[in-house]
Amino acid sequence: MKVMKSDKHDLLNWIDQGALDQWFSACPSVTGREHQELPSLDGRVAILIQLQEDTYTPAHLLCKMWDVLIHPYIGKSIQLQHAYTPLHQALEEDETGWLTPLPAHSMDRQFSTNMEKILRIANDMVSCLLEIRAQTPEIQVPWILQLNVSCMDKVSLIFLQRLIVRTKDLPFGIATYYFNQENIPCKDQNVNQLIQIRVKDFYKSLGVDHLKETSIIRSSYEPYPLLNLSLEKALVWCDGYAVLAHANEALDKAVNDEEEAEVLFLVMRAYLFERQLSAAESTLQKITQAHKYSNDIRARAAIYDALLLANHIKRPEDAIHVVRKGISFLRGRNDESAIREMAWLHNVEALTYYRLQQLPQAAKSLQQVKEYIKQLGEEDAALLSSAYAQNSSYLYEAIGKIDAAKQAQHIFIHKNAGQEDRFLLPHWFRIGFLAGKKGELEQALSWLDKAYQACNRLSDSYMQEWIARSTAYLLLQSREMDRAALWLQRSADLCQKIHLLPEWISISTALRAVRQITGVSEELSESTVKRNVILSPSQLRIRKKQLEQIERGEIEIYQIVPKPNSRFFYPFHHFWF
């Protein structure tokens, strides 16, 4: 990427020359407030976006652009308004917690960094902006953003990166500034240094590897306004970096062992947020190995540690030892808290044995989970029952008992018929996929369409695309080409909406091959696929090669579709096999 000097003349020349494409600059900040000093446009028509103050408010840039570019116009399109209601709700959620890594449920012993959620929100925001722009003449003018990336929260940076990448051919003027700090010792883990690392990561993701030095820099001892924040809030505002920078200070202020353990759990989540898995594991080991913490706290740490080892670090043998240690912390107790943690420990144990292909042991562990479910309250029992039904189904499938795998799902759905669609949706999908695997095509399509329509009501395009792709895959295997074309089209449209480019290329290629087989004209095929994604020469060569292989009978069409599996695409449910 060409890094240009950002000044008034460059910006005005870009507008005067027609603002035909994106204009981007990266410049060192001298005053720290260049992004607030927007130039006069002298009568030129453009939309200026600026943040009024240095702020780490979560998703502040997204909220600003929603207020200026989306809110005044989205009401004109009911379809767009419906599609992006969940996005608006996410932006309005409590600023201290809407992106904080937390379990999906207060009693659910799983963890998630929520990075998937951040990426989805950033992508959806860009999609919404582009759709609004295409339908609204009033805003089809240059948009100019002047921002100090050193003073932005991580969510806004991810959104800005997605906006830059996806709008190369649109008149967006993006002038970014940064505080450049050199020669700070690595051991000096203060907030300033960690923010600088994040800023460099941001520019590197855009291909800007060499940033200019600024003659006036912010002192390495001059703190950013984060020191008075709680760690929970800092994790949202400024990555896991800020949490790690303040961790020792917070540990010193802990008034008892329970508070200290909660700080360590937060530090563990910060390491996960930054994908530092070994450091997260070490933090959990500090808790499990310390006798000063209660056995309930040590058992909870064992659950997270075992899950981390089995699912992410890929050391399932070590995970078994951790589970056994966790069980030892609770042995001999029959209170509800201990029963709940024991159930989750055995669930992770079953998952780990499944990873090790030790299926009899996995079945034995799941039987333990079933016994504990009977002793829990309604809310805990429903959540554990869902995980038990899914894992039992996967276990039956692994030993070839498809009917039993389906029956496990039917039993759960019957017992939980009053639950919300979002809770039952993965089970509907699972039954449909299993029915398709057994060759019961019509039954499979009925369940898959039920799940697909539920996703439509929930406005969840990501899950909906996964279902559409899975359904197309089953129909292609059964050589039901006309019906496969419908589901491939749905999948391709959704891939474009949520910007899944590699998947879109493969699915649109499969759709073209199906159209050729069914006799649909090339012109219709082109318009149906919506070729508004420009393919690179290498991608075009791959597409041509695949189409030729299909024509010669060397591969089947379903083999070029990104293969779905029998797990539902729901990245936060790590307790399912």
What helix, strand, coil percent values describe the chain, rounded to 5? 65, 5, 35
Per-domain residue ranges of the chain: 8-103+110-205
Say what the pLDDT of residue 527 is: 41
Distance CA 235, CA 116 (A): 16
- Joined together, the tokens standing for residue 340 give 């709940």
Q: Which residues contact 218 (CB under 8 A, 6 or more apart)?
A: 32, 179, 181, 192
Over the range 375-393, which residues count as b (16 or more CB within 10 Å of their CB) and which as e?
ebeeebbbbbbbbbbbbbb
Distance CA 450, CA 238 (A): 40
Say what the pLDDT of residue 184 is: 43
- Pick from 303, 290, 227: nearest CA to 260: 290
Distance CA 203, CA 563 (A): 33
- Joined together, the tokens standing for residue 357 give 């292909």
Per DSSP bridges, beta strands 143-148 and 23-28 are unpaired
Helix (H) / strand (E) element for 47: namely: strand 47-49
Query: Quick one: how far is CA 231 from the chain centroid?
Result: 22
Say what the pLDDT of residue 532 is: 46
- At residue 320's C-alpha, the angle toward residues 315 and 323, to 5°, is 120
Rounded to whole angstroms, what are the CA distances from 296 to 322, 328, 339, 571?
14, 11, 11, 27
CB atoms within 10 A of CB 96: 15
Distance CA 195, CA 243 (A): 12
Rounded to whole angstroms, what are the CA distances from 184 to 103, 200, 204?
36, 14, 19
- Joined together, the tokens standing for residue 474 give 């089953």
Q: Which residues contact 314 (CB under 8 A, 6 or more apart)?
A: none
- Joined together, the tokens standing for residue 465 give 């695309």
Q: What DSSP string describes 416-459?
A: TTTS-HHHHHHHHHHHHHHHHHHT-HHHHHHHHHHHHHHHHHHT
Say what the pLDDT of residue 234 is: 52
CB atoms within 10 A of CB 165: 13
Say what the pLDDT of residue 249 is: 76
- Pick from 286, 202, 278: nearest CA to 247: 286
Instruction: Return contacts of 532-535, CB within 8 angstroms, 24+ apart.
Output: 532/496, 533/496, 533/501, 533/504, 533/505, 535/505
Q: Which residues contact 322 (CB under 8 A, 6 or more apart)?
A: 288, 302, 305, 306, 309
The residues pairing with 39 across neighbouring beta strands, listed in sequence order, are none
Q: Which residues contact 369 (CB under 8 A, 6 or more apart)?
A: 343, 346, 347, 350, 384, 387, 388
Instruction: Return contacts of 220-226, CB within 8 angstroms, 24+ apart.
Output: 220/181, 220/184, 220/188, 220/190, 220/192, 220/193, 221/190, 222/192, 223/190, 223/191, 223/192, 224/56, 224/151, 224/191, 224/192, 224/195, 225/54, 225/56, 226/56, 226/191
Strand, helix or coil for residue 178 = strand
Say what the pLDDT of residue 393 is: 92
| Three-state helix/strand/coil letters over 81-147 | HHHCHHHHHHHHCCCCCCCCCCCCCCCCCCCCCCHHHHHHHHHHHHHHHHHHHHHCHHHCCCEEEEE
- Joined together, the tokens standing for residue 321 give 């030892």
Q: Name the amino acid, one letter, at 11.
A: L
- Joined together, the tokens standing for residue 356 give 């090790």
Say what the pLDDT of residue 299 is: 95
Strand, helix or coil for residue 56 = coil
CB atoms within 10 A of CB 102: 15
Each residue's pLDDT expressed in tens, for the chain with a length of 577 residues: 344 445 566 778 888 888 888 888 888 877 777 777 766 788 889 998 887 665 566 678 888 999 999 999 988 887 788 778 877 877 776 554 444 433 333 344 444 445 666 777 888 889 899 999 999 999 999 999 988 888 787 778 889 998 998 888 889 988 888 876 554 444 444 556 667 777 888 888 888 776 765 544 444 445 444 444 555 555 544 556 667 767 777 788 888 999 899 889 888 877 877 778 898 899 999 999 999 999 999 999 999 899 889 888 889 999 999 999 999 999 999 999 999 999 999 999 998 999 899 999 999 999 999 999 999 998 888 888 988 998 999 999 999 999 999 999 999 999 988 888 888 998 999 999 999 989 999 999 999 999 999 988 887 888 899 899 999 999 999 999 999 999 999 999 998 887 777 788 889 999 999 998 888 765 444 444 444 456 677 778 888 888 888 888 898 999 988 876 544 333 333 344 4
Please, are residues 512 and 549 in contact by the beta-carbon 8 Å criterion?
no
Distance CA 213, CA 29 (A): 9
